[in-house]
């Protein structure tokens, strides 16, 4: 709107930038969690695959047993990492929500001020139009 200047525009811009940064961090955390989840699923699939296979001799059984133990340890670690990534994702989600609320608060203030400005401009325009109409009416009366 011509003539309207929002005095808190810099604050709105800063909050919008912070929200965009939070969106980026949330997306990163989401990708990290998905990667950790995929790794965990792969480890579980490998564990189930080799657990059900049969070993022919003692050496193969021993190697299979050691491999399954290593997979089991890796699964526990991957599960722990997945929980940490999930917690981080939840934290980023809450941070994003908070930043969206902060931005929307200032945006709502801007919208309300713009509506008030438009209403004031409409009132001034209506007052001017009424004055012109009154002058026109008075001139028309004087001519008679």
Which tens digit of pLDDT belongs to each residue from 92-124?
A: 999 999 999 999 999 999 999 999 999 999 999
What's the Cα-to-Cα distance from 9 to each of 62, 100, 113, 118, rounded to whole Å? Answer: 69, 16, 12, 18
CATH number at residue 77: 1.10.287.1700
% of the chain beyond a pLDDT of 70: 99
**Residue-level pLDDT at 1:** 58
3, part of any domain: no
In a domain, 76, yes or no: yes
Q: What is the span of the domain harbouring residue 45?
A: 9-143
21-57 pLDDT, tens digit per residue, is: 999 999 999 999 999 999 999 999 999 988 887 877 8
- At residue 73 the predicted structure's pLDDT band, cuts being 50, 70 and 90, is very high
Residue 13 falls inside a structural domain: yes
Distance CA 71, CA 58 (A): 20
Query: Comparing C-alpha atoms, which of 108, 107, 106, 99 is closest to residue 17?
Result: 99
Number of independent structural domains in the chain: 1
Is residue 21 a part of any domain in this protein? Answer: yes
DSSP element (H, E) containing 81? helix 58-143
């Amino acid at each position: 709107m011509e003539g309207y200047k929002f005095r808190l525009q810099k604050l709105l811009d800063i909050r919008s930038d912070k929200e965009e940064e939070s969106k980026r961090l949330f997306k990163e955390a989401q990708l990290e969690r998905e990667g950790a989840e995929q790794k965990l699923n792969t480890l579980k699939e490998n564990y189930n695959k080799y657990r059900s296979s049969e070993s022919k001799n003692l050496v193969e059984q021993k190697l299979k047993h050691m491999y399954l133990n290593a997979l089991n340890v890796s699964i526990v670690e991957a599960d722990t990492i997945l929980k940490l990534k999930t917690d981080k994702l939840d934290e980023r989600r809450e941070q994003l929500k908070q930043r969206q609320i902060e931005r929307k608060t200032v945006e709502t203030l801007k919208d309300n001020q713009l509506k008030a400005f438009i209403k004031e401009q409409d009132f001034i325009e209506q007052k001017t139009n009424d004055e012109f109409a009154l002058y026109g009416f008075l001139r028309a009366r004087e001519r008679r």
